[in-house]
Chains A and B, each alone.
Chain A
């Protein structure tokens, strides 16, 4: 029977949750790296026991870890993230130039085919790659240097590159997203990049339809349709059917179009999930109800999924990397909250149950479906 491994990054350590294909009973391992912020950990699609983990703290900066046995043991790997050349400046919150400074790794995206190759999205926004299992990192500086970099600005959480999506049908194409710059695409394996933000509209910037400056929170893709992307923006849920050349809004009947996570059903490419969040300053669930919204029509028509989720006095957030799906039939959906709960649905969102209720604030959730 298949097995599921859920990788959870929290404010105070990493946890690994495992279950069989029924997804009813769970074993909890952790905290790994207790006390450290674990922004993200993710397994290699080419070797599921190869995991990469981003560990950081205000005291000692960025540490990188690698596991070759599914998270039972870890080894420290390289943590030198040096920008290529003289990094220059981006805009600070007040609009003044600010030097590019490395702060942390937000997101790790292992190669689809090579367990020793992994991409890292960092703050201040840049994309790095390692081809030796995380020992050494090189910046793919064509992104930062394509021209609009001096106009990028941090969002409230920092100027982070938080989304990295590989196109399995075209190894030279990749998408990334930066808060608050927008989405970008390469068609030559990361050498050159271009903004793909046409159709986005952001009232909080001087030119709402500017080429860059949009606060993209997360992007998701179904691997069978690599030209179709779904985006949760700082207000507005969007989709593109042409690899980002043009976006259209699909917020439809959502109670609020603000949120952080967005994901796609493993077997139904038009079924998508979001968790609406009250904005602008609250950043918790509206009306004290934790509701996942599902669209089976690729957007615009949404249904609230509430069975098993708290529907009173619940005021948590679900951060941008804290939702994932497994590939079992039925598709499992998982998300973690800033209140420390990790919820799972083994029936594509129809019903939910907490795997754990009392973790530190959850920063990221990734799922591996194992044979």
Chain B
């Protein structure tokens, strides 16, 4: 069971509060986590990564274990602490806009 913390605007969109817990089959990567998120919460499709390019939206970042993992390849394994559920994957919205 892995843990994901969504930014407030996506928690509202997905109608969840607090952390999201997901079962991931196979390798725990950015892609498999977002796949699982979109499967559980279809309203998030296109909101974290672009439908067509599959690229992470530029104003969202992936943080975990005190590191910025945003530029790690989507199929690279996430840290063991995330895979084990000891630490959450944080999907963070940029502090920007008005």
Contact = CB atoms under 8 A, between A and B. Distances in A.
A33 to B, nearest CB: 8
B78 interface: no
Interface stretch (A53-61, A262-270, A321-329): A53-61
Given A76-B13, A80-B46, A58 B51 contact: no
Category for how many chain B residues contact A = 20 to 34
Contacts, number: 52
Most buried by A among B12, B47, B57, B93: B47
A80 B45 CA distance: 8
Contact of B47 (A33, A35, A61, A81): A61
Interface in B1-58: 7, 9-10, 12-13, 42-43, 45-48, 50-52, 57
Contacts of A62: 46
B66 to A, nearest CB: 23
A61 B57 contact: yes
Interface in A34-69: 34-36, 57-63
Chain A facing B: main interface SS: loop
Contacts of B59: 58-60
Category for how many chain A residues contact B = 10 to 19
Interface string A64-85: 0000000000001001111000
A102 interface: yes
Given A35-B9, A60-B9, A61-B57, A79 B51 contact: yes
B52 A59 contact: no
A59 B94 contact: yes
Interface in A297-353: none
Contacts of A58: 59, 96-97
